[in-house]
Amino acid sequence: MSDMKETPTIKEDFDLQKQLKNNAVPIMFVIICSIGCYYARLPWPFLINEIITRMARNSFLVISLIIPIIAGMGLNFGIVLGAMAAQFALIAVVLFELQGVAALLVTIILMLPMAIFFGWMTGALFNMTRGKEMITGIILSFFANGVYQLICLWVLGAIIPIKNPAVMLPSGVGLRNTINLKPLHYVLDRMFELQYGMIRIPVVTFLVILLLCVGMHFLLKTKLGQDFRAVGQSQHIAGVSGINVDKTRIIAIVLSTILAAMGQVIFLQNLGILTTYGSHVQVGTFAVAAILVGGASVSKATIPQALLGTLLFHTLFIVSPLAGKNLLGSPQVGEFFRVFIAYGVIGVALALHAWKGRGK
Amino acid sequence: MAECEKITVQERLKDAAKSLGIPRLIIFGFLALLFVAALFLKLDIASLFSNVLTRLGMNGILVLAMVPTMQVGMGPNFGLPLGITCGLVAATLAIELNLVGWTAFVFALGVAIPLGGLAGYAYGLLLNKLKGEEMTVGTYFGFSIVSLMSIFWAMAPYKSPEMIWPYGGSGLRVTISLAGRYDKILDKFMSFSIGGIVIPTGLLLFFALCCFLMWVFMRTRTGIAMTVVGNNARFAESIGLNVNKNRLLGSTISGALGAVGIIIYSQSYGFLQLYQAPLFMAFFAVGSILIGGASINHALIRHVVIGTFLFQALLVTSLPVANLLVSENLSEVIRIIISNGIILYALSRKEQGGEAK
């Protein structure tokens, strides 16, 4: 993956055709979204409010993908493990019966070591499967989901006794399908929010996202950030010039996993309900699809691309069931269409990447 | 019966320890443990065996579909859902035309093979442009096809009342019963029972036939050429073999086998499963063949048979044992952990031979 960096264009003159070609994916999605918005016939304030909610909810997760891409490890499908770390922490916090900001802080404290550990394991595995990081990440996310289910269905209750009817199944073994996160609901979003009619803006959440963007921007300028880039360009050259390649790659994945865990906490505090066996499953796929829709590739990604992608992908999410219903008479078809888009966009992006990489 | 099992386990233990060691060893050990537990718990061993045999034939061909792509160096065919959906189209066509029994079954196979082959060929054309990334692209390509076909199932103008929703509306049901069509037609063919163990003769014979044909094929000139391409594409090119053509052939055969595989699977299961059902089938097939001892770019018929048997035996025995011991249905979870765990293990192993592109 490392030697597949795109060469920077030498000619910097504004060239409309080239611009269109380079941004083909986002432009295509702007068009699809516009058609979707038109046919969905949703009232504008509702649509805008939904988009704002979803931007606040999902941006963090999408941004968590950037560092591994820069470090040349491709799209980190392993962020699902970060989401799991967050969910374990949230379950614990519900068990401790904590409230509000205290609950949020304890969640983060509990989540961090788990996320670091999972990230370190993932990174070590990626170092063993060099060049096949993405397929490893995909399979790892399925594998981890199996282990997660084993823990939640059986270990909790049968081996670790927990007696809390709000969390456990009536039989006393295994967690419920849905766990109410009421003590944490909107803890960030409603800390301070602006409201214009139907539109509510969760200021604190956006501040956290802004903080992340700024932090990421500066991180990439530090020595570590340069190391990520160097390793991403060529592992061999980076190694020769004295960078510990394996360690840098592990750090990239650990950071990505921590951010994903934080992202999942933001996601779930907004939803207010944890679907124990479902909330994390699609995290990787949807985040990856979003960043690709924004115009990122397997080897190149920026923060604006992540944000634009989140906007477009989730707009499509909001409008497609209704558009499908109005256009084709079946909301189910719209549902299938958006899943198809998510998978399809990843498939096409990966295919394009492999195609380009072959030219070298 | 117990003694017979012991001997095979011992033989296999030695074999496994020698060839690739730890993962198969663990799985055999676990299987033996489950078996002993099943004996102690006084489970119906005969029905367990019948189940394992049926599932071996039921899943075997889907696993066999991995051999051509792995041998030709394209890695396991994660795009298997493509072939599977072709098989499902053929199977639904048979019902739509109101065919019954062997006619329906043979018609479904007759449509499935060219359709699956064609889809596999087209898929091969795509993969020839993406050498080295077949697995990643294949996974998401397979997912996309499943969702695209979901739209097809929801909108296709089928008329047969057995398949559309009973209260009208458009689209097919999620599961379609094959009762009265060709439900268990192979399973029941020449089926007999010894000591309570039901042998699905027709099913096993069909699986054996497919394996045999593949075995013979891999020994023909073409088959050997495919193996050479898989072992070292550069070398193959230097001796005048057409790498892309051989890869296309591998993908075509895999697609056709995937289509046949799902028809065999559904006749044994008794239902056609549409929409999202084929989504993860490829992973279980890949897991099975890797458990059998295959590596990413090297797979033999032996690996198919051993792998499918092991994987299915594990599932069949673990379900009732787990039910009695921990009173939870963990079978699905175990399936996910084992199949994906073994794929991870295979990925982390160093590949031998040239990685020519």
pLDDT in tens, A33-55: 888 888 888 888 888 889 999 99
Residue B220 to chain A, least CA–CA distance (Å): 32
Residue A351 to chain B, least CA–CA distance (Å): 6
C-alpha angle with apex B302: B301 to B307, nearest 5 degrees?
105
| Minimum-distance CB partner of B133 among A154, A174, A350 | A350
Q: Is residue A208 within 8 Å of residue A295, measured between CB atoms? A: no
Q: Is residue B223 within 8 Å of residue B237, measured between CB atoms? A: no
Contact A330/B170, CB-based, under 8 Å?
A: yes
Domain boundaries, chain B: 2-348
What is the mean predicted confidence (pLDDT) over B228-251?
A: 87
Beta-carbon count within 10 A of A300 CB: 16
> In chain A, which residues have their Cβ closer than 8 Å to the Cβ of B345?
none
What is the mean predicted confidence (pLDDT) over A124-136?
A: 88
What is the reported pLDDT for B51? 85
- Tokens standing for A118? 């999972």
What is the reported pLDDT for A71? 92
What is the mean predicted confidence (pLDDT) over B162-177?
A: 77
- Tokens standing for B120? 């596999």
Q: Is the pLDDT of residue A275 over 50?
A: yes
Task: Tokens 């189209």: give the residue.
Answer: B89
Residue B337 to chain A, least CA–CA distance (Å): 5
Contact B150/A340, CB-based, under 8 Å?
A: yes
How many residues in chain B?
357
- Tokens standing for A72? 């040349």
Among B137, B145, B295, B350, pick the best mutation site for testing chain A contact (most A Cβ within 10 A). B137
- Nearest residue in B to A332, CA atom: B154
Pair type for strands B175-177 and B271-273: antiparallel
Rounded Cα–Cα distance for residues B156 and B149 (Å):
10
What one-character DSSP code corresponds to residue A168?
Answer: B
Among B151, B284, B314, pick the best mutation site for testing chain A contact (most A Cβ within 10 A). B151
What is the mean predicted confidence (pLDDT) over B97-120?
A: 89
- Nearest residue in A to B346, CA atom: A129
**Neighbouring-strand partners of residue B271:** B177
Chain centroid to Cα B40, Å, comes to: 32
Nearest to A280 by CA among A85, A133, A116, A19: A85
Q: Counting beta carbons within 10 angstroms of the beta carbon of residue B74, is it exposed (0 to 12), middle (13 to 18) or buried (19 or more)?
A: buried
- Nearest residue in B to A157, CA atom: B326
- Tokens standing for A176? 């419920």
Flag the least confident range among A146-160, A265-279, B178-192, B219-233. B178-192
Contact B136/A134, CB-based, under 8 Å?
A: yes
| Minimum-distance CB partner of B135 among A135, A145, A336 | A135
Among A340, A348, A356, A358, pick the best mutation site for testing chain B contact (most B Cβ within 10 A). A340
A10-49 burial by CB neighbour count: b if 16+ within 10 A, else e? eeeeeeeeeeeeeeebbeebbebbeebbebbebeeeebeb
> In chain A, which residues have their Cβ closer than 8 Å to the Cβ of B154?
330, 332-333, 336
Q: Is the pLDDT of residue A230 over 70?
A: yes
Domain boundaries, chain A: 2-11+23-358
What is the reported pLDDT for B88? 92
- Tell me the percentage of chain B whose pLDDT exceeds 90: 18
- Tokens standing for B171? 């689209």
Model pTM score: 0.83
The count of C-alpha atoms lying within 13 angstroms of the C-alpha of B52, restricted to the half-sphere facing its C-beta, is 25
Rounded Cα–Cα distance for residues A260 and A66 (Å):
11
Per-residue pLDDT band at B355 (split at 50, 70, 90)? very low
Long-range contacts of A48-54 (CB under 8 A, 24+ apart): A48/A199, A49/A198, A49/A199, A49/A200, A50/A318, A51/A311, A51/A314, A51/A315, A51/A318, A52/A199, A52/A200, A52/A201, A52/A202, A53/A200, A53/A202, A53/A270, A54/A310, A54/A314, A54/A317, A54/A318
pLDDT tens digits, residue range A167-200? Answer: 888 777 788 888 888 888 887 878 787 888 788 8
Start-to-end CA distance of chain A, whole Å, equals 12
Residue A161 touches chain B, beta carbons under 8 Å: no
Flag the least confident range among A63-67, A342-346, B6-10, B342-346. B6-10
Rounded Cα–Cα distance for residues B206 and B190 (Å):
12
CATH architecture of the domain B2-348 equals: Orthogonal Bundle (1.10)
Q: Which helix (H) or strand (E) holds B152?
A: helix B134-155
Q: Counting beta carbons within 10 angstroms of the beta carbon of residue B46, is it exposed (0 to 12), middle (13 to 18) or buried (19 or more)?
A: middle
What is the reported pLDDT for B1? 40
Q: Is residue B293 within 8 Å of residue B24, measured between CB atoms? A: yes
- Tokens standing for A140? 């790892």
Residue A351 touches chain B, beta carbons under 8 Å: yes
Give A287-341 as a DSSP string: HHHHHHHTT--SS---HHHHHHHHHHHHHHHHHHHHHHHHHHS-HHHHHHHHHHH
Q: Is the pLDDT of residue B114 over 90?
A: yes
Q: Which residues 287-326 of A are in CB contact (within 8 Å) with B? A: none
Query: How many cross-chain Cβ pairs, A to B, lie less than 8 Å apart?
Result: 129
Q: Which CATH class is domain A2-11+23-358?
A: mainly alpha
Contact B150/A336, CB-based, under 8 Å?
A: yes
| Minimum-distance CB partner of A139 among B143, B330, B347 | B347
What is the reported pLDDT for B8? 63
Q: Is residue A95 within 8 Å of residue A167, measured between CB atoms? A: yes
Rounded Cα–Cα distance for residues B192 and B197 (Å):
8
Contact A354/B151, CB-based, under 8 Å?
A: no
Q: Is the pLDDT of residue A270 over 70?
A: yes
Among A73, A122, A143, pick the best mutation site for testing chain B contact (most B Cβ within 10 A). A143
Per-residue pLDDT band at B331 (split at 50, 70, 90)? confident
Residue A155 touches chain B, beta carbons under 8 Å: no
What is the mean predicted confidence (pLDDT) over A305-325?
A: 87
What is the reported pLDDT for B350? 63
What one-character DSSP code corresponds to residue A348?
Answer: H
Q: Counting beta carbons within 10 angstroms of the beta carbon of residue A322, is it exposed (0 to 12), middle (13 to 18) or buried (19 or more)?
A: middle
| Minimum-distance CB partner of B330 among A154, A330, A355 | A154
Flag the least confident range among A95-99, A134-138, B111-115. A95-99
pLDDT tens digits, residue range B237-247? Answer: 888 888 888 88
Rounded Cα–Cα distance for residues B73 and B134 (Å):
10
Q: Which helix (H) or strand (E) holds A178?
A: strand A178-180
B110-138 burial by CB neighbour count: b if 16+ within 10 A, else e? ebbbebbbebbbebbebbbebbbbbbbbb
Q: Is residue A117 within 8 Å of residue A124, measured between CB atoms? A: no
Start-to-end CA distance of chain B, whole Å, equals 50
Contact A150/B333, CB-based, under 8 Å?
A: yes
What is the reported pLDDT for B118? 93
| Minimum-distance CB partner of A347 among B141, B155, B341 | B141
What is the mean predicted confidence (pLDDT) over A257-270?
A: 93
Among B85, B126, B136, B319, pick the best mutation site for testing chain A contact (most A Cβ within 10 A). B136
Per-residue pLDDT band at B36 (split at 50, 70, 90)? confident
C-alpha angle with apex A332: A329 to A334, nearest 5 degrees?
75
